[in-house]
Homo-oligomer: A and B are copies of this chain.
Amino acid sequence: MRELGWPAAMPTIDRDSIVPIYQQIYEELREAILTGTLPESTRLPPERTLAEKLSVNRSTVVHAYRELVVDGLIEQRVGSGSRVARSAGQPARSADVPWWITLPPWRIGSFPQVLGELAATEHGDRISFVPGVPPLEPSPLAELAKSFERAAGDSDFVLSYGDSEGHLPLREAIAARMRSRGCTVDAREVLVLTGSTQGITLVAQSLAEPGDEIIVEGPTYPGALQIFGIAGLRAIPVAVDADGMRVDHVEAILRTRRPRFIYTMPSLHNPTGVTMNADRRERLLTLAERARVPIVEDDPYGELAQPAMPPLVARSPNYVIYLSTFSKTIAPSLRVGWITAPRTIYERLLLRKQSYDMATSLYVQAGIYDFLSRAYDEHVVRLREELIARRRIAREAIAAHWPKSMRLTGGGGGFYLWATAPREIRARALLDAAERNGATFLFGEAFYAASGGDHNFRLAITPVTREALVEGIRRIGESIAVLAAR
């Protein structure tokens, strides 16, 4: 019964990581077993002992060991505890471990795993400020139902795949809307996507290879960080201030590095709500053109900005790949977005988009096209007004219920408020307290490619009701007071 190697393989855990602790333990032990640092038959410490050494709950270690059992890497027997399985560390193809142990390694957990959380609707009885989706009022439902009724009756829309580029009338309508915002775009440069999240994966996989560097904002959309992590890209964060991305930092990075692209959300930036000013836009485009680095402009909220600015792609169509969606202006469940790109790139994007889902649902596209042609403009105006009203309500509630030491960034509009707590309050601790008090939100670390965000958190001011918006802010205020009093 060997215990060789065990002290060297003692897991180290990082309590500040967004990776769950059980998973950190599991991954370290897994690697130690597969590399032979923990040879076969090595006895692992009892769960209680390891839990005490690491100062974690016993259930955390139980969870980690259970994953290793599922992998076939350790064996557990009543009375003799846990041991490294025989031949677990040998070349796994010929050994007695499941095939999935031999999969290409993936540093799962090294990026925020938030897309599922952002999509999920179940938050118990808590008031949830997590998902950013449109409010119930103004409701697009009645008009949308009419549009879908028309599409559902047409076998041409339901019983075929349709062109993988997208439904041509919809592509034309999208191009016309973009032209009205100052872009010189042709319908043939519009590729309809199944949500703009798809477009982030599309550029991550088409414009870069694993190991390549890219520039992102810090903070930025955490779903994009998950996608870049899965694609194996190394994201270099650039700070955001009240005028948008710090373009001077971009300039400094471009002096020594060759990122594959710059990912930015210049209008109603998620999470800060900031819109990049005109000077910075011009400077960013000039830098990108000079360095020959394309910009990926993610613009889900651009139509909601007030005052509106032309997208970056309007000024530099050959250097900007543009992404947008109807998820924030009509409904997220439609899963329809789009990307525009120069024709040379377009073909490459198209072939890969086909590999994701062949074509975006023609039935849904036909419904959206009908809605666009009848009801969209009025709906967007009302939505913009609702968001402005909610922002005012939220700011008033914050003024009433939060201490002055809390700061709010941005304020241009859109779906989010980005809060900064004073040094003595960590956002993660505040989240724990707020959840016990019946409110939940996303804490800041998920928005940063590297470190940062410990004292930040994001509130989505929709789809909660206006009443819940005020009540949730009040509850968070109570939790701040509790933490500040400690």
Chain A residues with CB under 8 Å of chain B are: 67, 70-71, 92-94, 98-100, 102-104, 106, 108, 113, 115-116, 118-122, 131, 133-134, 136, 139-141, 144-145, 148-149, 152-153, 155-165, 194-195, 197-198, 200-201, 206-209, 212, 223, 226-227, 230-231, 258, 291-294, 318-319, 327, 331-335, 342-345, 347-348, 350-352, 354-364, 463
CB-based nearest B residue for A327: B161
Q: Is there contact, CB below 8 Å, between A194 and B194?
A: yes
CA distance A134 to B292 in the complex (A): 47
Shortest Cβ distance from residue A305 to the other chain B in the assembled complex, whole angstroms: 21
Q: For residue A344, which residues in chain B have a CB less than 8 angstroms away from its CB?
A: 67, 70-71, 98, 100
Q: For residue A163, which residues in chain B have a CB less than 8 angstroms away from its CB?
A: 116, 119-122
Assuming the contacts A333-B361, A333-B363, asked whether A292 and B116 have C-beta atoms less than 8 A apart, the reply is: no
Contact sample, A vs B, 21 pairs, CB 8 Å cutoff: A71-B344, A92-B292, A98-B292, A98-B344, A99-B319, A103-B348, A115-B354, A115-B358, A121-B161, A140-B158, A145-B149, A157-B333, A159-B331, A194-B356, A197-B354, A197-B358, A198-B356, A334-B363, A335-B359, A335-B361, A356-B357
Q: For residue A139, which residues in chain B have a CB less than 8 angstroms away from its CB?
A: 155, 159
Q: Is there contact, CB below 8 Å, between B226 and A355?
A: yes
CA distance A158 to B148 in the complex (A): 12
Q: Is there contact, CB below 8 Å, between B227 and A348?
A: no
Shortest Cβ distance from residue A275 to the other chain B in the assembled complex, whole angstroms: 24
Q: For residue A134, which residues in chain B have a CB less than 8 angstroms away from its CB?
A: 159
Determine which of B121, B140, B358 lies in contact with A223 in the assembled complex, contact meaning CB atoms within 8 Å.
B358
Q: Is there contact, CB below 8 Å, between B342 and A358?
A: no
Determine which of B145, B194, B335, B357 lies in contact with A153 in the assembled complex, contact meaning CB atoms within 8 Å.
B145
Q: For residue A159, which residues in chain B have a CB less than 8 angstroms away from its CB?
A: 133-134, 136, 139, 141, 331-333, 463
Assuming the contacts A116-B164, A119-B161, A141-B152, asked whether A361 and B334 have C-beta atoms less than 8 A apart, the reply is: yes
Q: For residue A122, which residues in chain B have a CB less than 8 angstroms away from its CB?
A: 163
CA distance A94 to B258 in the complex (A): 11
Determine which of B94, B335, B343 lies in contact with A358 in the assembled complex, contact meaning CB atoms within 8 Å.
B335
Q: Is there contact, CB below 8 Å, between A356 and B201?
A: yes
Q: Is there contact, CB below 8 Å, between B99 and A294?
A: yes
CA distance A71 to B122 in the complex (A): 49
Q: For residue A155, which residues in chain B have a CB less than 8 angstroms away from its CB?
A: 136, 139, 141
Shortest Cβ distance from residue A55 to the other chain B in the assembled complex, whole angstroms: 26
Q: Is there contact, CB below 8 Å, between B121 and A352?
A: no
Q: Is there contact, CB below 8 Å, between B194 and A103?
A: no
Assuming the contacts A141-B158, A158-B144, A361-B334, asked whether A351 and B120 have C-beta atoms less than 8 A apart, the reply is: no
Q: Is there contact, CB below 8 Å, between B93 and A195?
A: no
Shortest Cβ distance from residue A188 to the other chain B in the assembled complex, whole angstroms: 14
Shortest Cβ distance from residue A354 to the other chain B in the assembled complex, whole angstroms: 4
Q: For residue A197, which residues in chain B have a CB less than 8 angstroms away from its CB?
A: 354-358
Q: Is there contact, CB below 8 Å, between A115 and B355?
A: yes
Q: Is there contact, CB below 8 Å, between B93 and A345?
A: no
Shortest Cβ distance from residue A103 to the other chain B in the assembled complex, whole angstroms: 6
Q: Is there contact, CB below 8 Å, between B352 and A230?
A: yes
Q: Is there contact, CB below 8 Å, between A230 and B351?
A: yes
CA distance A99 to B206 in the complex (A): 13
CA distance A68 to B342 in the complex (A): 14
Q: For residue A131, which residues in chain B have a CB less than 8 angstroms away from its CB?
A: 160-161
Shortest Cβ distance from residue A130 to the other chain B in the assembled complex, whole angstroms: 11
Q: Is there contact, CB below 8 Å, between A119 and B153?
A: no
Besides A106-B348, A116-B164, 10 new A-B residue pairs in contact (Cβ under 8 A), listed by A number: A115-B354, A118-B161, A118-B358, A131-B160, A139-B159, A141-B153, A160-B332, A197-B357, A198-B357, A226-B355
Q: For residue A327, which residues in chain B have a CB less than 8 angstroms away from its CB?
A: 161
Shortest Cβ distance from residue A162 to the other chain B in the assembled complex, whole angstroms: 6
Q: For residue A345, which residues in chain B have a CB less than 8 angstroms away from its CB?
A: 100
Shortest Cβ distance from residue A344 to the other chain B in the assembled complex, whole angstroms: 5
CA distance A148 to B351 in the complex (A): 30
Assuming the contacts A141-B155, A161-B333, A292-B92, asked whether A354 and B116 have C-beta atoms less than 8 A apart, the reply is: yes
Assuming the contacts A71-B344, A159-B333, A160-B333, asked whether A354 and B100 have C-beta atoms less than 8 A apart, the reply is: no
